Amino acid sequence: MAHKRDREATRARLLECSRLRFARDGYDGTSVRDVAGDVGVDPALVFRYFGSKSGLFTEAMAGSSAPVVLPDGPVEELPAKLLRQLVFEDWSEYAGEHPLIAMLRSSGHEDTKDRLRQQVCEGYLDVLSQLADGNEDKNLRTELFAAWLLGIGILRTAVGTPTLTKATEEELLPHLAAVAEALFGRPVPTE
């Protein structure tokens, strides 16, 4: 009675809730009953709509690729933008972590690993590689910088290292500029 009978709307709500569960608890830690319970629907409906649990997982992860910065501004501002998005944005909708970091928890499954790689490559490396233009090991430098951003996010949220967890964006920006300059050989403004 709380909701009308709307197949597409129910499907969408299942996907949304499952995304949060999968991100927070991982694939194995999430049960179909949990997700159905969040939506207020019978678990059997999940199998009617998605065939299986892994079908739900695949579709949920496919729809979560949205949050990626588009290269709309000058390339020099990209590192700061990505850092802000990866680390400091409010991901409370995704259980407090960037979806990419959360997805790492399920990287034991080969499907997840493939999607993870695809998302990192298309969403981050393609954009970041502009910064490495003119350098010798362009791709390697790009991936090394992406590794740093990812590592910062992980130390902050998944490990909970003391200093980095409490660091503010303003404290991080100077070091970001220094490392970016060292890797890309060009000045990167902090503002």
Cβ(165)–Cβ(156) below 8 Å: yes
Q: Which residue stretch of 8-16, 31-39, 54-62, 166-174 sits at the interface with a second copy (rule: CB under 8 A)? A: 166-174
Q: By C-beta, is 75 or 120 nearer to a second copy?
A: 120
Tell me: does residue 34 bind a second copy (CB under 8 A). no
Contacts of 138 (CB under 8 A, 6+ apart): 129, 132
Question: Which residue matches tokens 């660091």?
Answer: 167
Whether 43 contacts 32, CB under 8 Å:
yes
Rule CB under 7 A: say whether 44 interacts with DNA: yes
| 42 part of the interface to DNA, by CB under 7 A | yes
CA 186/CA 49 separation, integer angstroms = 51
**Contacts with a second copy, 59-98, as mask; x by CB under 8 A:** ----------------------------------------
List the single partner that 158 binds among DNA, a second copy, none, CB under 5 to 8 Å by kind. a second copy
Shortest Å distance, C-beta 44 to DNA: 3
Interface with DNA (CB under 7 A), residue from 12, 31, 139, 178: 31
Rg (CA), the chain: 19
How many chain residues interact with DNA (CB under 7 A)?
Answer: 23
Considering only residues 10 to 29 of the shown chain, the ones binding DNA according to CB under 7 A are: 10
d(CA 106, CA 132): 31
Cβ 131 vs Cβ 157: under 8 Å: no
- Tell me the C-alpha distance between 28 and 30, whole Å: 5
Give the nearer residue to DNA in terms of CB position, either 40 or 160: 40
Task: Tell me how crowded residue 76 is: count the other CB atoms within 10 A of its CB.
Answer: 16
Point out which residues bind a second copy (CB under 8 A). 24-26, 28-29, 104-108, 113, 116-117, 120-121, 125, 137, 139-144, 146-152, 154-155, 158-164, 167, 171-172, 175, 178-179, 181-183
